[in-house]
Amino acid sequence: MATYTPTNFFGGGGTAAALSTTITTYAQAVTGTVSILRTVHAICPAGGKTFSLSIGADVLTGTRLFASIALAANVPFLENGWIVMAATNATHALDAQSNDTVTGSVLLNASGYLYA
């Protein structure tokens, strides 16, 4: 019987993923599963920052879900959906980054399900 297991792709447990210009990657570690992205939440303490999130090996050339989304200071970006990611993207299921070199200038939580 197939099951949906709730999971955090970025962040979770009360801690957000701290983004910078270095690409942050979620790797799908469980073989035989499909990742389903449900909720994306991003926030920054200071305005003038952006973030990008993609399916694939690079947020610059991959399949961009969100490209250079502008964030105002302390105003959360929240998006809900049902985005199914192919199991073939095992090492780079999701990639994220911000436009700021300071790690933590943008905080990201992304959650959903593992379907098996």
The CA–CA distances, whole Å, from 94 to 3, 39, 45, 76 equal: 21, 13, 24, 20
Q: What is the pLDDT of residue 109?
A: 92
| pLDDT score, position 114 | 87
pLDDT for the residue numbered 88 = 60
Q: Please give the average per-residue pLDDT across 66-91, as a whole number.
A: 86
DSSP designation for 108: E
The token pair that represents 57 in the structure block: 């090996």
The C-alpha atoms of residue 110 and residue 79 are separated, in whole angstroms, by: 10
Please give, one letter per residue, the 3-state secondary structure of 5-17: EEEEEECECCECE
* Residue-range domains of the chain with CATH: 4-115 (2.60.120)
- Using alpha carbons only, give the angle 69, 110, 98 rounded to the nearest 5 degrees: 35
